């Protein structure tokens, strides 16, 4: 920023320049990262042994009617309404699956654990879940496996041995590359940005953020990462956090990443109300319907996601395939109805596909 060492030290000591007194990195996780090539060369996936769990003394369910409960992070938001729609669509197409969604009203791991435990007690054949905390949810999922219940995750994973399969909406490093490249295209190679996420312990977002940090350092090293803040997947808190970032960093803030389907439209709303459209870019993960007004107003140019209806649809098909014995440890693919053949990656994950970028040119083609 062109300051002398003395003046920079003075500014830092007085804490009058937030751009110099950059916040300590928070969020992400401590797992190894694998940033993709800067030029887009695809990575080669190495075969890994199955690392999921197995139901104990499970009854023969092949071709038989099964009851399934879907327990997402929370209910009542567009994203999980869409995954629930996909699960219901798959159950209808499959024919011998009775599926319902029953999640907590807020993204609270204790509430989620209680719900799952209640369904273990009442008796179900299968549990679909999107974890609020990968470690905390694992004991109750292992309890389900111990009682012969099928367990398949989607969107946000548990510990691998606490479920059979996990349907991954996109590989973490693929999401990271798409997000960072999109932001770099909007704010330039020396732009600065902040992140609004849900919680630092939410598994998929922590993994995306860790991979974003690794990819940004490798491929866009001059971009400045200002801060990461939590917003609990709450609309008001997400708006307030984004607004705080705008006020806190002023002209030093060039962009905001939203890591949830709640945080991204809330950040766009905060930028809009602050009159900063065109000055502060918003790039994030969100459903297209929530972002259409901001994209139409040209306040948001890039919305990154996958089709959550397809994600729920795939998860239901994976559970049915596991119930029928058509998906077993060591398999490399699974048939998923209208989605065709999906690949097994990382031992016990099913890959939905590559991330998709919604723009003004294509967002009108989607309704969810």
Stretch 143-167: mean pLDDT: 97
How far is residue 195's CA from residue 283's CA, in Å, rounded to a whole number?
10
DSSP conformation class of 46: P
Q: Is 7's pLDDT higher than 80?
A: no
Contact between 210 and 222 (Cβ < 8 Å): no
State pLDDT tens for residues 50-106: 999 999 999 999 999 999 999 999 999 989 999 999 999 999 999 999 999 999 999
- Tell me which DSSP letter residue 230 carries: E
Q: Do domains 25-42+171-305 and 66-170+307-353 have the same CATH topology?
A: yes
pLDDT at 313 over 60: yes
Residue 252 pLDDT: 97
Out of 258-262, 263-267, 305-309, least confident range: 305-309
Q: What is the CATH number of domain 66-170+307-353?
A: 3.40.50.2300
pLDDT at 20 over 60: no
- pTM passes above 0.85: no
Average pLDDT of the chain is: 91
- The pLDDT assigned to 15 comes to 35
Which residue blocks in 43-171 are alpha helix, DSSP H? 78-94, 109-122, 138-146
DSSP letter at 227?
Answer: E
Residue 42 has what pLDDT? 75
Q: How far apart are CA 199 and CA 205, in angstroms?
A: 8
Q: How far does Cα 330 stand from its chain's mean position?
A: 26
pLDDT digits (tens, 9 = 90+) for 195-224: 999 999 888 899 999 999 999 999 999 999
H/E stretch holding 214: helix 203-219
**Spatial distance between the Cα atoms of 40 and 177, rounded to a whole number of angstroms:** 9
Strand partners, 126: 68, 150
From the list 132, 210, 168, the residue with the least C-alpha distance to 52 is: 168
Contact between 188 and 180 under an 8 Å Cβ cutoff? The reply is: no
Q: How far is CA 6 from CA 2, 13, 18, 28, in A?
A: 12, 11, 17, 34
What gap in Å lies between CA 127 and CA 111, rounded to an integer?
A: 16
Band the pLDDT of 1: cuts 50, 70, 90.
very low
Bridge partners, residue 109, by sequence: none
Give the fold, CATH level 3, of 25-42+171-305: Rossmann fold (3.40.50)
Q: Strands (DSSP E) along 161-320, which ranges? A: 165-168, 192-197, 224-230, 255-258, 281-285, 302-305
> For residues 56-79, b (16+ Cβ closer than 10 Å) or e, as one string?
eeeeebeeeebebbbbbbbbebbb
- β-strand pairing of 333-335 with 341-345: antiparallel
The residue ranges of every structural domain in the chain are 25-42+171-305, 66-170+307-353
């Amino acid at each position: 920023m062109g300051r002398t060492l003395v003046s920079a030290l003075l500014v830092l000591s007085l804490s009058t320049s937030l751009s110099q007194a950059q916040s300590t990195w928070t969020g992400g996780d401590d797992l190894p990262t694998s940033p993709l090539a800067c030029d887009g060369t695809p990575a080669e996936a190495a075969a890994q042994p199955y690392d999921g769990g197995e139901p104990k003394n499970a009854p023969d369910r092949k071709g038989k009617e099964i009851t399934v409960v879907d327990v997402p992070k929370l209910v009542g938001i567009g994203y999980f309404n869409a995954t629930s729609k996909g699960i219901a669509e798959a159950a209808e197409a499959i024919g011998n699956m009775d599926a319902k969604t029953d999640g907590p009203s807020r993204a609270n791991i204790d509430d989620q654990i209680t719900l799952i435990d209640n369904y273990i007690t009442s008796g179900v054949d299968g549990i679909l879940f999107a974890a609020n905390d990968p470690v905390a949810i694992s004991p109750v999922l292992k309890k389900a496996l111990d009682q012969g219940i099928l367990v398949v995750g989607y969107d946000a994973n548990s510990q691998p041995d606490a479920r059979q399969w996990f349907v991954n909406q996109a590989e973490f490093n693929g999401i990271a590359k798409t997000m960072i490249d999109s932001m770099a295209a909007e704010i330039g190679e020396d732009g600065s940005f902040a992140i609004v996420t849900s919680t630092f312990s939410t598994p998929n977002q922590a993994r995306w953020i860790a991979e974003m940090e690794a990819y940004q350092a490798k491929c866009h090293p001059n971009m400045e990462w200002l801060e990461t803040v939590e917003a609990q997947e709450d609309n008001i808190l997400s708006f307030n956090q984004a607004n705080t970032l705008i006020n806190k960093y002023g002209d030093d803030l060039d962009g905001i990443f939203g890591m949830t389907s709640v945080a991204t439209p809330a950040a766009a709303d905060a930028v809009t109300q602050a009159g900063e459209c065109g000055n502060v870019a918003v790039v994030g993960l969100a459903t297209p319907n929530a972002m259409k007004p901001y994209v139409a107003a040209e306040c948001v140019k890039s919305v990154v996601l996958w089709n959550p209806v397809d994600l729920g649809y795939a998860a239901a098909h994976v559970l049915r395939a596991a119930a029928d014995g058509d998906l077993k440890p060591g398999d490399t693919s699974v048939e998923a109805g209208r989605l065709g053949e999906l690949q097994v990656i990382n031992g016990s994950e099913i890959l939905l596909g590559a991330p998709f970028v919604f723009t003004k040119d294509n967002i009108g083609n989607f309704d969810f």
